[in-house]
Structure 1
Amino acid sequence: WGSSTERTSAAWYPQGITSTADAYTVQTADGSSTGRTALAVSWYNDGSPDQGARISFVNAGSGGGSLSTYAHVLLVEPKIVSGHLTFSPVNTHAGGLVWYGAKLFAADSGRGMRVFDTTRIYRIAAGQDSTKIGWDATTGRYNAYGYTYIMPLQLSYLQSTTAACGVQSDPDGDGPLKAYNNPLCFSWIGLDRGTTPDSLVAGEYRTLGDLQSSDTRIRVTRWSLNYHDRGLCDPSNTAITTCGSARTLADGQQITVSDVYMTETPRIQGGLSWAGKFSLSQSLSDSSGAVAGSLYAAVPGTDNDYGGAAKYSWTVGAEDVTLWRASTSSGTLGSSARMWTVTEHPGERLLLGVYYSSVD
């Protein structure tokens, strides 16, 4: 990152990553053959006041070249206060990102996913107060904590219950906590353009301490996507949530998960799937602090996590992952396809790309 503050700050932590290769088959931001290419990285704020989350749009060249320039965009939630349009920060961990069409999906831990429109990024006029956010009636100006650009929330996919995510239960009363009986924690998300229809994968972060019983597994899920409106769809409920054609969306429509997988792999920070194989990014630490993590490649139903899955050395503090396909043909990979990750620890922050063929 360009500034020492971004490289070392304990106020902002990079988390999710996606790219224009996720957005469109031709791998550009606008879906045209001459459009720009970019990576997008989410950061969550751990400062006071809580400034929510931001996205860094990084010039990606060909997806494997120079990452020389970038700009930060603050995520905001619009609202009407006293008859005037204003906005507040989006308080989310943003642990994973998927850029699909013009939509940018951000994982929202216990709530679900927040969705933003990348064609609706607004510039804040010069002269704002960097300590404030939203409309200031006194000055007649908008403020965004000093950020030049904002991207408003478009819609949310929320859990159908308000129960806390990921809570474990002890159904047989023998002591160890076992199966989860509460909603999924959306700790990370990734895209799979190799399925029909395209799909979004989402999983939860759990520590080794959560796996107190051989009955306990960590959940990884798959959600179908509608290519026409770029939203979630439900193949089992075509009356209102068809995946194959344009549709009319309304508040309250319920989407059901397409597939659920189980894994024993703890501390998963990010994941994606391609051609039936999952890549799971794991962070690790010991008594001295953070250490190099592992990257797992496994086919559901055939690979046991530590027996059959391929395990690769991974970087320190790795978070989410995304696949740059290096191909403009849907459902195929080019020879230079790369998997990108972002690392979070202050002083050790990288955007790292490795050839997908080396970790497949």
Structure 2
Amino acid sequence: MGPRRCSTNNGGNPVKKYRRLVVGLVAGLAAALLPAVPAQAATALPAANFRLKATAYSGLIDDLDAALPNVSVPTVVADGNRAATSCSPAAANRVASFCWNSGDDDVAYWVPQGITTTADAYGEATYEGATAVLVSWYDNGTDGVDRGVRVSFVDYSTPSAPTYRHVLLVEPYTNGSGQASFRAVNLHAGGIFWYGHYLYLAATGTGFRVFDLRHLWQTSTTNGSAIGRQSDGSYQAYGYKYVLPQAFAYNQSTTNGYANIRFSFASLDRTSTPDSVVVGEYANPGAGSRIFRFPIDYTDRMLTESSDGYAKATQAYDVSVQSMQGATSVNGKFYLSTSDGSGNAGDLATFTPGGSVVMHHDVLPVGPEDLSYWPAKGQLWSLTEYAGNRSVFAVRASAY
């Protein structure tokens, strides 16, 4: 890993921090004065035509468990090697925020996309005693290496001073010598949600990749340019200390001629009965962009299957909102984050089934992405993607 990504500087640029504070205060006040604007109605679609089917659980995980030290989520969360910084992103009704250290704020080849928290994992909002925020990043390959996807494990037990460490996502496979190994996961990582022991990752064209948090492995960090099992028997991960393996996947299909879903982002809804998953589509222009809901089973933490073995959507809507980047639902009301390029504030759209989509313009910072709801706090969490202006923040959901 390059020196910028390994930076542990937590001071940040004081000019940048001051500029963010001023811009955040001014933009937040201006956004609060803007009226919400009704748009077109959300059109219901026949939801059962959209379905997902699970693959088998990877048998290679047992082999890799035997080859590598297995560590717990609290161990990784407590092993932060970076300190977040304080900042004030320009989000109306903001109630919490932090920013990455200077190396992660500025790095061009890693781009943050998805967000989830321990409030998704379990109702008590902790996981084995840890309070954490997880953020997914994809590698765009601009430095000549595609490392796939990493996830930041942020220790949020002290909100005023979060620390974090990046974990590389990997896919187990059998190498040419017949040995269990792993490789990078090459996805956009536009949305994630945490449910029990599973971390679900939106896979744009196919459905979901699912990673098992009971199998976090510690790897060798002696070779920052290698991944998987090496000829000397070591397991490398581009210099990352920990990896999280894919356990299984969900592959999509449709019936009656409907177009496949573009799995651009995803979130968990703990306010529905039963718990459910919200997924949606990025589109620019936005005509025909859709939102879907799938039920999920709290007993096995997997999508709820029908008698034919498919998990089928229970709600589907054509919302035709341009540049959606995230969506979630709270007590039946949908919240959609939308972006407007690298120079304009983001918007938040809301709708309830049977009603019109309402646009709340310029209430989010530039470059908003995925959404996640923290029920006990009543907070909508999100993040921004553009290098040099990245933040993680929460707003009051009840304000919209």
What is the alpha-carbon distance in structure 2 between the residues aligned to residue 2 and residue 109 of structure 1?
26
| 2:104 alignment partner, SS class | helix
Identical aligned pairs, as a percentage?
40
8 Å CA contact 1:299, 1:309 repeated in 2: no
2:127 is equivalent to residue 74 of structure 1: no
Q: Could you tell me which residue of structure 1 aligns to residue 209 of structure 2?
A: 114
The one of 299, 303, 313 aligned to 2:363: 313
| 1:318 alignment partner, SS class | coil
What is the alpha-carbon distance in structure 2 between the residues aligned to residue 351 and residue 67 of structure 1?
13
| 1:184 alignment partner, SS class | coil
The one-letter amino acid of 2:274's match is P
Q: Could you tell me which residue of structure 2 aligns to residue 198 of structure 1?
A: 275
2:392 is equivalent to residue 342 of structure 1: no
TM-score (norm: length of structure 1): 0.79
Q: Could you tell me which residue of structure 2 aligns to residue 175 of structure 1?
A: none
What is the alpha-carbon distance in structure 2 between the residues aligned to residue 322 and residue 311 of structure 1?
20
Aligned-CA RMSD value: 1.8
Q: Could you tell me which residue of structure 2 aligns to residue 174 of structure 1?
A: none
The alpha carbon displacement at 1:146 in A equals: 0.4
The one of 239, 261, 275 aligned to 1:146: 239
Q: Could you tell me which residue of structure 1 aligns to residue 122 of structure 2?
A: 24
2:199 is equivalent to residue 158 of structure 1: no
Structure-to-structure mapping, 1:146-295, within 5 angstroms = 146-160=239-253, 181-208=258-285, 211=287, 217-234=288-305, 237=306, 239=307, 253-285=309-341, 289-295=342-348
User: Which runs of at least 4 in structure 1 moved beyond 3 Å after TM superposition?
Assistant: 308-312
The alpha carbon displacement at 1:324 in A equals: 1.3
What is the alpha-carbon distance in structure 1 between the residues aligned to residue 160 and residue 118 of structure 2?
15
Structure 2 runs not aligned, ≥5 long: 1-98
What is the alpha-carbon distance in structure 1 between the residues aligned to residue 119 and residue 103 of structure 2?
29
Q: Could you tell me which residue of structure 1 aligns to residue 76 of structure 2?
A: none
Distance 1:67-1:261 versus aligned 2 partners, 3 A rule: farther
What is the alpha-carbon distance in structure 2 between the residues aligned to residue 22 and residue 83 of structure 1?
38
What is the alpha-carbon distance in structure 1 between the residues aligned to residue 354 and residue 210 of structure 2?
31
The one of 119, 136, 145 aligned to 1:49: 145
The alpha carbon displacement at 1:338 in A equals: 1.5
The one of 328, 351, 361 aligned to 1:298: 351
Structure 1 runs not aligned, ≥5 long: 162-179, 212-216, 241-252, 327-335
- After superposition, the C-alpha distances for 1:196-235 in whole angstroms (9 at most, x for unaligned) are 1100000000012x53xxxxx211000000110000013x
What is the alpha-carbon distance in structure 2 between the residues aligned to residue 346 and residue 311 of structure 1?
23
Aligned residues: 297
The alpha carbon displacement at 1:160 in A equals: 3.1
TM-score (norm: length of structure 2): 0.71
The one-letter amino acid of 2:374's match is W
Which gives a bigger RCO, structure 1 or 2 (Cα 8 Å, sep 6+)? 2
- After superposition, the C-alpha distances for 1:110-167 in whole angstroms (9 at most, x for unaligned) are 11111011121111135x2110100111x22111000000000011001237xxxxxx
The one-letter amino acid of 2:281's match is E
What is the alpha-carbon distance in structure 2 between the residues aligned to residue 206 and residue 67 of structure 1?
36
| 1:284 alignment partner, SS class | coil
Distance 1:339-1:54 versus aligned 2 partners, 3 A rule: same
8 Å CA contact 2:191, 2:266 repeated in 1: yes
8 Å CA contact 2:220, 2:237 repeated in 1: no
